Amino acid sequence: MAEETIFSKIIRKEIPSEIAYQDDLVTAFRDINPQAPTHILIVPNKVIPTVSDVSCEDEAALGRMFSVAARLAEEEGLSGDGYRLIVNCRDHGGQEVYHLHMHLLGGRPLGPMLARRQ
């Protein structure tokens, strides 16, 4: 069984966070260090450490993450101008918390996806 992170405590409401949405498959809460006017993390309730650990049985939760992203983007008023969804994976992807999560970012132009190589 995969090791829990702080996100499991947030999902179980054992530590405080600003939860924007929760159901039987996923939880969404505001990032503690927001990088844009809207910065929400959408996570499966089940511990899946990284994208590399995803299996077919996780497809319902992963699909739900996208439908919740669309719903929250609408609620946050982001749908018209657009927004960005990011999933970082392991070291090179810049993943810090090893509980798979999708960042929903918006509310300002977000610039290029990656810093350009010189």
Pick out residues in 51-110 that bind ligand 5GP (CB under 6 A): 88, 94-97
Q: Which of 8, 11, 17, 36 binds ligand 5GP (CB under 6 A)?
A: 17
Residues with a catalytic annotation lie at 101
Based on the shown chain and the rule CB under 6 A, indicate whether residue 33 belongs to the binding site for ligand 5GP.
Answer: yes
Residue type, 54: V
- Buried residues in 42-77 as b, exposed as e (16+ CB within 10 A): bbbbebbbbeeeeeeebeebbebbeebbeebbeebe
Q: How far apart are CA 16 and CA 68, in angstroms?
A: 21
Based on the shown chain and the rule CB under 6 A, indicate whether residue 45 belongs to the binding site for ligand 5GP.
Answer: no
Q: Which of 32, 37, 74, 77 binds ligand 5GP (CB under 6 A)?
A: 32
Contact residues for ligand 5GP, defined by CB under 6 A:
6, 17, 29-33, 41, 88, 94-97
